[in-house]
A = this chain, B = another copy of it.
Amino acid sequence: MRFFSDNAASVHPRLLQAMTAANVPDTAYDGDALSAQLNAAFAALFETDVEALWVATGTAANCLALAALCPAHKGVICHREAHIEQDEAGAPGFFTGGAKLMLLDGEGAKLAPETVEAHCAAIRDDVHQVQPAAVSITNASEYGLVYRPDEVAGLSEVCRARGLGLHMDGARFANAVATLGCSPAELTWKAGVDALSFGFVKNGGMSAEALIFFDSKLAADTRYRRKRAGHLQSKGRFLAAQILAMLEDDLWLDNARAANGGARIIAEAAGDRLLYPVEANEIFIRLSADEAAQLRASSFDFYDWGEGQARLVTSWNQSADDIRPLAKAIAAL
């Protein structure tokens, strides 16, 4: 059983059904009937007007958001372990025209308001130093921790005082909401978020993520930038179909709950091997090379995460029965 990544899991059958249903001629690009429903569907979910754009990847969603928030000559503050820094091949530099990522530390890949404030305060207000324009946080974080609404609001307060935009990389936003039990609104615009990359692909989707702007002014140029980046698909209705299917009856939340539930089973078995509390669907544990080999010999696949550590990720489609053998194997180490 694979615990490599939720990235590689299968697609929820309701999405494939929705895509099949969408297979009738319609207007190209995002002029079709399904794409036209996105703004309203997300407005209902977020309890406020939004602009919602589909794109095929989280990298595209993140970096279009950054390009909307940060001009080429400024910088984006993020955690040193942020996905945009570590795993996107320099895409932020590409989409922004060379803006700098400003890397800060923080436990569990989370930024604290005082860290952001201290960084900003240390930048001289002169033309030799790159000035920050935005902060980007990942929720759930790269180490599977969540930011609570009040933590986001704390960051947002610094952003407002400093004139910075606030972006949330929500590749696992669903997992965070599922854990927190809050509303999507509480975790985003009510806490000061300007733009959200709302991930679906890791959560049972195939090839559609949503980029949500809570400030519609940010969206206008982004529609041009999306095309300019080759991300405006001509049969966009198949992306919209996936997203709408995800939103219908809160499938996104059910899937996230399932993945999170699997992670909790493993977390309990892992006990004090845990490197971080498990607040989403990622589990980071201490694991010697021997132990790792032992688990792999039992057909459990996962990533080593530095010396003596491992990352396990559960997916929407793994049932408790799928998970328990791994939990048992870890407990037995």
Binding site for B on A (CB under 8 A): 2, 4-5, 7-11, 13, 16, 19-20, 23-29, 32, 55-61, 63, 71-75, 86-91, 93-101, 103, 127-131, 201-202, 206-207, 221, 223-235, 238-239, 315
Q: List 24 A-B contacts (CB under 8 A).
A: A2-B25, A8-B26, A8-B28, A8-B32, A8-B235, A16-B20, A16-B23, A25-B315, A56-B56, A56-B233, A57-B230, A57-B231, A59-B227, A59-B232, A73-B224, A73-B228, A74-B224, A86-B129, A88-B228, A93-B93, A206-B238, A207-B238, A230-B231, A231-B231
Closest-CB distance, A120 to chain B (whole angstroms):
16
Name the residue on B nearest A127 (C-beta): B227
10 smallest CB-CB distances across A and B, nearest first, come from: A93-B98, A60-B230, A97-B97, A59-B230, A89-B227, A7-B234, A8-B28, A7-B28, A127-B227, A89-B228
B101, B131, B229: the one contacting A91 at CB < 8 Å is B229
Closest-CB distance, A121 to chain B (whole angstroms):
13
Q: How many copies does the complex hold?
A: 4
Closest-CB distance, A296 to chain B (whole angstroms):
15
Name the residue on B nearest A31 (C-beta): B8
Name the residue on B nearest A75 (C-beta): B90
Contact A90 B86 (CB under 8 A): no
Contact B7 A128 (CB under 8 A): no
Closest-CB distance, A260 to chain B (whole angstroms):
19
Other contacts beyond A57-B230, A60-B230, A229-B229: 8, CB < 8 A: A7-B29, A11-B23, A11-B235, A59-B232, A72-B97, A90-B98, A97-B97, A127-B227
Contact A90 B73 (CB under 8 A): yes
A4 to B226, CA, bound (A): 22
Contact B99 A224 (CB under 8 A): no
A5 to B27, CA, bound (A): 9
Across-interface contacts of A2 in B (CB, < 8 A): 25
Contact B16 A28 (CB under 8 A): no
A86 to B122, CA, bound (A): 12
A59 to B91, CA, bound (A): 17
Contact A229 B94 (CB under 8 A): yes
